Amino acid sequence: MDVLRIKGGLPLEGRVKAAGAKNSITKLLVASLLSEKKCIFYNVPRIAEVEVTVDLCREIGAEIHWDKEAGIIETQTKELRTSYVPQRFSGSNRIPILMIGALLGRTQEDIIVPTVGGCKIGQRPIDFHIAALEKLGAVIEYRMMKKEGAYFAHAHNGLSGAIIHLPFPSVGATENTILAAARAKGTTVIKNAATEPEIIDLILFLQKMGVIIFVDVDRTIRIQETHHFNEVEHTVITDRIVSASLGMAAISTKGRVFVEGAQHLHMITFLNKLHEIGAGFEVRDNGIEFFYKGPLKGGLHIETDVHPGFMTDWQQPFVVLLTQAYGNSVIHETVYENRFGYAHALKLMGADVELFTQCLGGKECRFASRNFHHSLIVRGPTPLKGREIAIPDLRAGFAYVMAALLAPETSTIGGLQFLDRGYENIVGKLASLGADIVRDRADAHSPSLAIASAS
């Protein structure tokens, strides 16, 4: 098992490039399956999540050439080889379920998708996906196979446009519905749709592909039936989670880092929160510089929310940042019911954090009175100390790395498969900024480095 060994206490200084967005390229690759035409993607990150998605698309019939050095993927799916997603993709990530939306209009065969995975940050059901696709005319059943269950989907009578009202602006359900709608008869209207930058990136790609798609007021997306698809070249948006994470690491270590490619438009709410705690940033044409400019102020209230709110994937490193701020701050997680799984290890590292089941802050969320630990108070500043820790999920992973960068002793971090899914060359990038960080084999089996749950 590989581990990271980090000896903290050094300020991060320099310049680093943020990679393309994981949550965008993975969906774009699936969207490319809608047509038989060639698609070329630029700014593709070298991360495990893209490896898995490329593997998945190849399985379905895509011919893919990935120039990893240049960050370019060329893909073309002249015909489908199968519509059966093998069991080895079961639980791998959130992508296989999108195969239903992408393939329904392209095959009369059953589309078979094993159990959906992703980080264990809540129950993460897919009921909104299923209900929306059924409304478009899909027939979807969950059946037991040899070892575990799989979704069987088909649209033998074709798909027809419909008005779909999502109960919550789910990113995945919006994407799945858009993909299916592109080949459904007539017009589909998605109300209460997610409008995250990664969804807009998907919409821009589809528009280039020839899909007539509108983003209307009030979270409404309209998609028209499409018959002719074009070849497309598309540059993937920069990862706003990675950009923010690198920025927070710079500020918390009292350093200064220019994050090349960080996109201002996608980080407005995040930058406002940095401003509130007295952290420094300067927006330039080609990126954002983040820097420490004096003691950080706590007393902050963050409520995570759908875009344009404060992104749920920003809260974990932000909590680490707040351990270094003077005063108490409150975080209310309203997107996932179980996204504070990392708090226990942070406490062991010396953070003063406390979890609550109540909605702390202005509004009652979907998780009120449901006994989920979805609010957190962090009191600072507190020095952090090095520990052996195992990463429980992707975004918690970077929070641990950040905590280790603050602790003067050496920390050993296991569970790197989570980090590898979403952060390109994290060791090289942090080392280039002056961090004392190496990737190494674990010395011996250590229970504190064992992973409780796989993705």
> From the CB of 410, what's the least distance to ligand UD1, in Å?
30
Q: Are 327 and 296 in contact (CB under 8 A)?
A: no
Residue from 171, 203, 359, 365 touching ligand UD1 (CB under 6 A): that is 171
How many chain residues bind ligand UD1 (CB under 6 A)? 22
> Based on the number of CB atoms within 10 Å of its own CB, is 123 exposed (0-12), middle (13-18) or buried (19 or more)?
exposed
Nearer to ligand UD1, 253 or 304 (CB): 304
Nearer to ligand UD1, 126 or 300 (CB): 126
**Treating both helix axes as pointing N-terminal to C-terminal, what angle do 394-406 and 240-252 enclose, rounded to 10 degrees?**
20
Token pair recorded at residue 165: 């009202």
> From the CB of 123, what's the least distance to ligand UD1, in Å?
6
> From the CB of 421, what's the least distance to ligand UD1, in Å?
10
C-alpha 411/C-alpha 386 separation (Å) is 4
* Position closest to ligand UD1 via CB: 172
C-alpha 385/C-alpha 411 separation (Å) is 8
429: nearest Cα among 274, 238, 279, 257: 257
Q: Is 172 in the site for ligand UD1 (CB under 6 A)?
A: yes
Q: Is 128 in the site for ligand UD1 (CB under 6 A)?
A: yes
Residues ≥6 apart with Cβ < 8 Å to 333: 304, 312, 315, 339, 340, 374, 375, 376
Residue from 168, 212, 268, 354 touching ligand UD1 (CB under 6 A): that is 168
Q: Is the peptide bond before 86 cis (omega within 30 degrees of 0)?
A: no
Nearer to ligand UD1, 10 or 391 (CB): 391
Q: Is 336 in the site for ligand UD1 (CB under 6 A)?
A: yes
Residues ≥6 apart with Cβ < 8 Å to 444: none
Q: Is 332 in the site for ligand UD1 (CB under 6 A)?
A: no
> From the CB of 23, what's the least distance to ligand UD1, in Å?
4
> From the CB of 348, what's the least distance to ligand UD1, in Å?
25
Site string for ligand UD1, 190-229 (x = CB under 6 A): ----x-x---------------------------------
C-alpha 62/C-alpha 84 separation (Å) is 14
Q: Is 335 in the site for ligand UD1 (CB under 6 A)?
A: yes
Nearer to ligand UD1, 73 or 325 (CB): 73
C-alpha 308/C-alpha 219 separation (Å) is 11
Residue from 53, 90, 115, 170 touching ligand UD1 (CB under 6 A): that is 170
Q: Is 304 in the site for ligand UD1 (CB under 6 A)?
A: no
C-alpha 22/C-alpha 277 separation (Å) is 28
- Binding residues for ligand UD1 restricted to 89-108, rule: CB under 6 A: 94
Residue from 17, 129, 154, 240 touching ligand UD1 (CB under 6 A): that is 129
C-alpha 395/C-alpha 332 separation (Å) is 17
- Binding residues for ligand UD1 restricted to 7-36, rule: CB under 6 A: 23
Residues ≥6 apart with Cβ < 8 Å to 386: 6, 7, 8, 349, 404, 407, 408, 409, 410, 411
- Of the residues 39, 119, 359, 365, only one is catalytic, namely 119
> From the CB of 337, what's the least distance to ligand UD1, in Å?
6
| Catalytic (active site) residue 365 | no
Q: Is 120 in the site for ligand UD1 (CB under 6 A)?
A: no
Q: 């010396």: which residue's tokens?
A: 350
C-alpha 249/C-alpha 257 separation (Å) is 9
Residues near ligand UD1 (CB under 6 A) are 23, 94, 118, 122-129, 168, 170-173, 194, 196, 312-313, 335-336
Q: Known catalytic residues?
A: 119
